[in-house]
Amino acid sequence: MELSELKLVSASNIIRLRTEAHLTQAELGAKLNYSDKTISKWERGEAIPDAYVLTQIAALFDVSVDYLLSSHDKWEAPIEEDEQMKKPRYSEWKIILLAVISVWTGFLTAFVALWIFGIIWWEIFLVALPASIVVLTVLLSVFRRRRYLSWCISALVFSILLLIFAVIPDMRWWQLLILTIPAELIVFLSFHLRENG
């Protein structure tokens, strides 16, 4: 078997074993201490792993080195991983912004509907504030943007206290401040419970 044919045979076998194991080129590269570009080169038949790496690959997939170098089927040019991953990608920040704007649009619609019936209730926007912050917090958690969560929870606590201040007619601003300080301290300390070091 010529070297060029051996490269294609090993490429085909590596592709099949990797895809059957549901590994990306990057994941296989990490297991072998090689870059995904090197794995891609092997899978395109441009290079062949050295003997030591072939034994590592064989051990990883529980096959023999002979299996890696023997033809089992007709080789087909590999589909580039970028082509395989051409699923639509969405901007997480745009999704978050769209969700928050949708909440505000819903409350604005409710405000206008009430206004049509002669009821002007501007406090509805004070309800929209914590509602939008809740949506923001949930989406930040879903998208694993945890560094912003303490700010969101802090804003949520403040917006709820602001809503209480607006709804209770005789409440003074300093009473709001007395409630806000310990509530914000609780939020701050709960996000900093873990010791560093």
pLDDT score at 78: 54
Burial (CB < 10 A; 0-12, 13-18, 19+), residue 8, is buried
Query: Which residues contact residue 116 at a Cβ distance below 8 angstroms, ignoring those fewer than 6 apart?
Result: none
101 vs 163: which has the higher pLDDT = 101
Q: How confident is the model over 127-138, as a mean pLDDT? A: 91
Dihedral sign, Cα of residue 192, residue 194, residue 195, residue 197: negative
Domains of the chain, residue spans: 3-84, 92-190
Provide the 10 A C-beta neighbour count for residue 76.
10
Calculate helix-pair angle for 149-167, 124-142, nearest 10 degrees. Answer: 160
Residues 40-98: tens digit of each pLDDT:
998 888 888 888 889 999 998 888 888 888 886 654 555 555 555 555 567 888 888 99
> How far apart, in whole angstroms, are the C-alpha atoms of residue 52 and residue 17?
18
- Structure letter (DSSP) for residue 147: G
> How far apart, in whole angstroms, are the C-alpha atoms of residue 24 and residue 30?
10
3-class secondary structure per residue, 92-141: HHHHHHHHHHHHHHHHHHHHHHHHHCCCCCCCHHHHHHHHHHHHHHHHHH
Lowest pLDDT segment from 11-15, 22-26, 97-101, 178-182: 178-182
Tokens of 137: 């917090």
Please provide the average confidence, as pLDDT, over all residues in the chain.
83
Q: Which residue, 137, 143, 142, is CA-closest to 187?
A: 137
Residues in the chain: 197
pLDDT score at 77: 52
> How far apart, in whole angstroms, are the C-alpha atoms of residue 176 and residue 77?
68
CATH topology of domain 3-84: 434 Repressor (Amino-terminal Domain) (1.10.260)
79 vs 192: which has the higher pLDDT = 192
> How far apart, in whole angstroms, are the C-alpha atoms of residue 36 and residue 30?
8
Element counts in the chain: helices (H) and strands (E)? 10, 0
Q: What is the pTM of this model?
A: 0.48
Q: How confident is the model over 179-184, as a mean pLDDT? A: 81
